[in-house]
Amino acid sequence: LGSMFTDDDGFFATAPVGHYPAGASAPGVLDLAGNVWEWTNDYYGPYAADDQVDTKGPASGEERVIRGGAFNGASPDWAKPSYRYHSKPDSYNHAIGFRCAATPAK
């Protein structure tokens, strides 16, 4: 597989947080896809065949779900927040990270 994009964003690997404000989600969340794969709390397993809403993984398993693709991805589908991949929880590399989140102050 080759590179997902041929353009150069000027960064050797990951881009600084918040560097692409035009890519914010409707509620204004930045950086949902494409910098690094992000760990989730779900164990990896197949989804049921029927429509799913707020899916949860199995109660246990060998691998956890990662989402969001990474800067070195080769397929545009990988960058969709709905795309799931999996990895053993004790694995690590430069293309897997995590998201810090908090309820906004009012």
Q: What is the mean pLDDT of residues 79-102?
A: 85
Q: Kindly report the average pLDDT of the chain as a whole number.
A: 84
Encode pLDDT of 20-75 as tens digits. 898 888 888 888 777 889 898 899 998 877 877 777 788 899 999 998 888 888 88
Question: So what's the pLDDT on residue 103?
Answer: 82
Q: Which residues contact 98 (CB under 8 A, 6 or more apart)?
A: 38, 39
Three-state SS for 106?
Answer: coil
Encode pLDDT of 5-20 as tens digits. 677 778 888 888 888 8
Compute the distance between CA of residue 26 and CA of residue 43 in angstroms, rounded to an integer.
Answer: 28
The residue with tokens 């990895």 is 87
Please tell me the pTM assigned to this model: 0.75
Contact 96, 66 (CB under 8 A): yes
Compute the distance between CA of residue 12 and CA of residue 72 in angstroms, rounded to an integer.
Answer: 10
